[in-house]
Structure 1
Amino acid sequence: MITRRTLLKLLAAVQAVGLAPALAKAEDAPSRLSFGPPSRFDFETLQAMVADLAGKPYAPPPIPDPAIVKTMNFDVAKHIIPDPDHALFGDGRGPYPISLLAVGELFPKTVRMFAVTGDEAREVLFKPEYFKSPAGGPLSRLAPTPAPFAGLELLQAYDKPVLRGHEGWARFLGASYFRAVGEADQFGVSARAVAQNSGIAIPEEFPDFTHFWVSEGPGDDDPVTLYALLDGPSIVGAYRFIMHRGRGTTMDITMRLHIRKPIERLGISPMTSMFWYSETVKGAATDWRPEVHDSDGVAMWLGNGDHLWRPLIDQDKLTISKFPDAGFRGFGLMQRDKNYDHYLDAVFYERRPCCWCEPVGDWGKGSVQLLEIPTDNEIYDNIVLSWVSDTPNKAGDVLDYRYKLLWRDTDPFPGKLALCVATRLGAGAVQGAPRSTVLRKFVLEFKGAFQATRDADAKPEPVLETSRGTFSNIVVEPSPDGDLGLWRIQFDLDPQGSDPVDLRCHLAFQDEALTETWVYRYVPFASPVR
């Protein structure tokens, strides 16, 4: 079985092996790629292609000689390394060379690649020498058509230092998945073009990016523009990614979708991540590490200005949480805990980036929806976050969206509110008294600069809400270690039943909110606490 851990190892191997030659390459060496004849291309051309394709039956992207591709498993694929001397735009015409990635057992479908200069595009023609691989290996036995490219990776400029030995900063590989790095130069949370029927009884579809067109500006401050054609049984789309490499990675994404068949649940700007357990509750996890996750919560900025924080939970069953709003300013999957000692893992979970979506224009009424899938290991991506419109879609609909994705090491949205940095659960009751088998104790920590400026006697006030049950033993106190920027609130909840309870909490001073609002869905104890 191909696991997430295996996939990560494969992608890491591709980066590590190709690193040293890339940095040593002469900046102005001539291009060694072969190209087809030129054809006119711009975003309007792509949109016209997509409109025409929407009226035709779906045809999946071809797989070159499936018998050979199936032999290209992890052990084989890790030795098929993109040659930096054959990187697209590696000849000095642009600051960011682009590695073309080969097909394999994990990624068998092909993607056609084009280089764009001005208003002309030329297709990249495949040759085995684009890759460093064993002589007589499976890649050399594949026919040049369809070209066995599966995706691409944007690399750091050859004349720039590479942080922590990582060279790639954005990668498009597998179905419509893509990802980018933050300031710590590490991949983590993934995004994809759309999410179709995630978490419901109708089978989920995974449409593919089947064509990429790439254009680069001449300088470091110029963006890389990538155009992509999305194709699937129920949907076809035209995408434009304008990507900047600076403080982390910023993507300005414009998309036009044509609906072939009705889609029950269409997720826009979906993000996918892994969450096993955190400081909140370890549950049934038997692992020795204190925490294991690529993301630890969902941040939301509502149209009325409110900021929400929802810690992720390893639920005991598949759960979908909906957060409706008429004008989201932003939402995303965050990795707030940046302390190595909280993970103790050589993959450095504390360096995983946050991914933040900023809608551009009016998206209409809808909800941010969070899908949490039970897991017992870190090899599975079990978290999906996306925005879903309240308006049903039907065959023939044309949908236009634009948004920005910000890949950062910390929360990218502005604001002076203190952030929730920890959520801890335990058995209720006053400390030192017998532990309750009914009460659940919650301990929240909020961190921000506002606390240091308040009078020592001006204690924040807790604002608590629950959909059912009662609160008791409420305590608000500064951090015991003297951190002036940290306040802690403790409270016990009597859920008064076994159904899930929705909770909200923030700290205020004289009716002014000092923190974002913590939201949580608590499932009462299934058995007495021990």
Structure 2
Amino acid sequence: MRLALLRRDLVQAGLGASMLAMMARVATPGVAHAAETVAAAGPGPFDGATVRRLAQAMAKHAYQAPDSKLPGAIDQMSFDQYRSVRFKKESALWHGQGLNFQVEFLPRGFLYRPHIDIFEVQNGQAARVGYNPDLFSYEDQKLRVTDDLGFAGFRIHYPINRPDYYDEICVFLGASYFRAVAKGQNYGLSARGFANGTGDPKGEEFALFRAFWLEKPQAGMTAIVVHALLDSPTVTGAYRFTIRPGDETIFDVESVLYPRRTIAGSGIAPLTGMFYFDVNDRQHIDDARPAAHDSEGLSMWNGKGDQLWRPLVNPIDLQFSAFSDVTPKGFGLMQRKRAFSDFQDLALNYEKRPSLWIEPIGDWGEGAIDLVELPTPNEVNDNIVAFWRPKAPLAAGGEYTYTYRMHWCWDNPWSSRLARISQTRIGTTDDKKGRFVMLDFTGESVKSLGADAKLHADLGTNAGDIRNVVVEPNPEIQGWRITFEFYPGSSKIAELHCVLSGEQGPLSEAWVYRWTP
């Protein structure tokens, strides 16, 4: 399957396929060189406020895109040519120094045209990481050019799976995108530094991490610190990532944003992934596999303590959902299916893709968790975006701080007393006029209940009719099942919700679902 192989290659290269459409927005050739403030941040003193001072200074001036010009030999580089240029492992930063981390750098070319400044920080001093074409090996020697090209991004390696091998645990490449994995995982969904205008018909602006500072860890350290300078026509920002790989890989993120212009549709802690189909939504898709996706649902724990589960869909038209909240406890794009049989894909191993949970630190105030679902005809495109949108616009000239913890994990980082939806199955009703919905619930709150327990479904919709509700034990999963029929009638959209409840109140998280034809 060519699409499957392409998806695998793109993910291994650290590339989300949605970038194919957006890179032109951040990589326009023939523009001015990097801003003078970035160039001035060469060798010299560095402290925790350095990047913040740079971002604040840059926000007072008009945007200048980084250098995106490339020599003719690599100006039209294909993806296959790009991936044939490989960084030599023996050239990695800190290689052979007995440290837990090594860094490999990525070449410019293909979609990755902008020159990204990268510095190493030691003992309070920053030094530019020097470029040399001999840091790379080339299958085609025509791709070896002697110009001082610089780098497009970097990968961090750490012995996460076994002590004698440095696995790639994260990559920063393209706009403000980055990916990471926990122990035993493969790359899947991505994160971004910032989102602006996602889902807006006028188009989205993609900010760029235009410079990085890598703090050299001391011997024995199991965490590494990366600083990043964000830049776009609308906003600048300073980011500090403290990265701790392990059974769950943690990114502690400290971000400060400086809008050049007022931003109404800002996205904090944006997540991007792919949902092609699953048993809840496989209309118009003829595929031998039972499912194909990076993530299957959006999980939310709101400020009131409510837990919500929104299964993802691959819609016919763009769908935008907003879940209003105050001081959210967390949200994430989650992959709950963890068996090979759930996907039956030997090449792509969707069951090993990370879930990514965002844990806000401090009071994020009023806003909404936004979910954007785009239609995709295949599994190559990243078509799902989720993020926190503050209620109030980010005003030009202001300073906004957001601190959060990212959990690249197998499951929610905290257990819950509530049962959760382990399966959402949807098909046609016998009369072909409605939709038959099947929800399975598993968890400690229902595991020990007898078959005679008095449970019911708190079920509703804002459009159409719900009929023939059945609540019954499902001994095959040591859980319970709710089934019902939904008849939309003339409705073109409906918001459904369901909670499994007992005599003492709710026993499960809330299932929320948007139906469209």
Name the residue aligned to 1:243: 243
8 Å CA contact 2:182, 2:246 repeated in 1 = no
8 Å CA contact 1:4, 1:381 repeated in 2 = no
Rounded to whole Å, the distance in 1 between the matches of 2:88 and 2:195 is: 33
Name the residue aligned to 1:495: 488
Rounded to whole Å, the distance in 1 between the matches of 2:170 and 2:116 is: 17
Name the residue aligned to 1:510: 503
Measure how far apart 1:158 and its partner are: 9.5
Rounded to whole Å, the distance in 1 between the matches of 2:73 and 2:199 is: 34
| SS at 1:129 equivalent | helix
Residue 152 of structure 2 is aligned to residue 150 of structure 1? yes
Mark the CA change 1:159 to 1:92 in structure 2 (over 3 Å): closer, same or farther.
farther
| SS at 2:81 equivalent | helix
Measure how far apart 1:511 and its partner are: 3.0
8 Å CA contact 1:299, 1:333 repeated in 2 = yes
Measure how far apart 1:445 and its partner are: 0.7
Q: Give, as a single letter, the amino acid of the residue that structure 2 aligns with 1:439.
A: G
8 Å CA contact 1:14, 1:81 repeated in 2 = no
Which residue, out of 114, 119, 138, partners 2:119? 114
Name the residue aligned to 2:21: none
The TM-score with structure 1 as length reference comes to 0.88
Mark the CA change 1:513 to 1:395 in structure 2 (over 3 Å): closer, same or farther.
same
Rounded to whole Å, the distance in 2 between the matches of 1:417 and 1:212 is: 42
Rounded to whole Å, the distance in 1 between the matches of 2:234 and 2:98 is: 38
| SS at 1:46 equivalent | helix
Rounded to whole Å, the distance in 2 between the matches of 1:326 and 1:13 is: 38
Name the residue aligned to 1:198: 198
Rounded to whole Å, the distance in 2 between the matches of 1:11 and 1:469 is: 41
| SS at 2:426 equivalent | strand
Mark the CA change 1:142 to 1:399 in structure 2 (over 3 Å): closer, same or farther.
farther
Rounded to whole Å, the distance in 2 between the matches of 1:10 and 1:491 is: 40
Q: Give, as a single letter, the amino acid of the residue that structure 1 aligns with 2:495.
A: D
Mark the CA change 1:202 to 1:220 in structure 2 (over 3 Å): closer, same or farther.
farther
Tell me which moved more, 104-113 or 231-240.
104-113
Deviations 1:39-85 (A, max 9, x none): 10122111111111111221111124253332332222222111111
Deviations 1:166-219 (A, max 9, x none): 921111001100010133221101000111101112221111111110114325
Name the residue aligned to 1:125: 130
Name the residue aligned to 2:306: 306
Which residue, out of 413, 432, 435, partners 1:437? 432
Mark the CA change 1:111 to 1:245 in structure 2 (over 3 Å): closer, same or farther.
same
Tell me which moved more, 40-49 or 303-312.
40-49
Rounded to whole Å, the distance in 1 between the matches of 2:232 and 2:206 is: 7
Matches within 5 A, 1:24-423: 38-92=43-97, 94-134=99-139, 136-138=141-143, 140-144=144-148, 147-157=149-159, 160-161=162-163, 167-345=167-345, 346-423=347-424
Q: Give, as a single letter, the amino acid of the residue that structure 2 aligns with 1:513.
A: P
Measure how far apart 1:311 and its partner are: 0.1
Residue 477 of structure 2 is aligned to residue 475 of structure 1? no
8 Å CA contact 2:451, 2:473 repeated in 1 = no
Rounded to whole Å, the distance in 2 between the matches of 1:516 and 1:365 is: 22
| SS at 1:137 equivalent | helix
Mark the CA change 1:162 to 1:493 in structure 2 (over 3 Å): closer, same or farther.
farther
Name the residue aligned to 2:428: 427
RMSD: 2.3
Rounded to whole Å, the distance in 2 between the matches of 1:264 and 1:461 is: 42
Name the residue aligned to 1:449: 444
Mark the CA change 1:271 to 1:37 in structure 2 (over 3 Å): closer, same or farther.
closer
Deviations 1:113-139 (A, max 9, x none): 11111211111111112112247432x
Measure how far apart 1:221 and its partner are: 4.8
Name the residue aligned to 1:32: none
The TM-score with structure 2 as length reference comes to 0.90
Instruction: Identify unmatched segments of 5+ residues in structure 2.
Output: 16-40
8 Å CA contact 1:10, 1:78 repeated in 2 = no
Mark the CA change 1:448 to 1:438 in structure 2 (over 3 Å): closer, same or farther.
same
Tell me which moved more, 491-500 or 170-179.
491-500
Measure how far apart 1:456 and its partner are: 3.9
Q: Percent identity?
A: 34
8 Å CA contact 2:359, 2:404 repeated in 1 = yes
8 Å CA contact 1:207, 1:232 repeated in 2 = yes
| SS at 1:49 equivalent | helix
Rounded to whole Å, the distance in 2 between the matches of 1:112 and 1:470 is: 58
Tell me which moved more, 116-125 or 463-472.
463-472
Rounded to whole Å, the distance in 1 between the matches of 2:395 and 2:499 is: 41
8 Å CA contact 1:65, 1:142 repeated in 2 = no
| SS at 1:290 equivalent | coil
Rounded to whole Å, the distance in 2 between the matches of 1:365 and 1:238 is: 23
Q: Give, as a single letter, the amino acid of the residue that structure 2 aligns with 1:152.
A: F
Q: Give, as a single letter, the amino acid of the residue that structure 2 aligns with 1:155.
A: H
Instruction: Identify unmatched segments of 5+ residues in structure 1.
Output: 16-35, 429-434, 526-530
Mark the CA change 1:54 to 1:14 in structure 2 (over 3 Å): closer, same or farther.
closer
| SS at 2:440 equivalent | strand
Rounded to whole Å, the distance in 2 between the matches of 1:11 and 1:445 is: 31
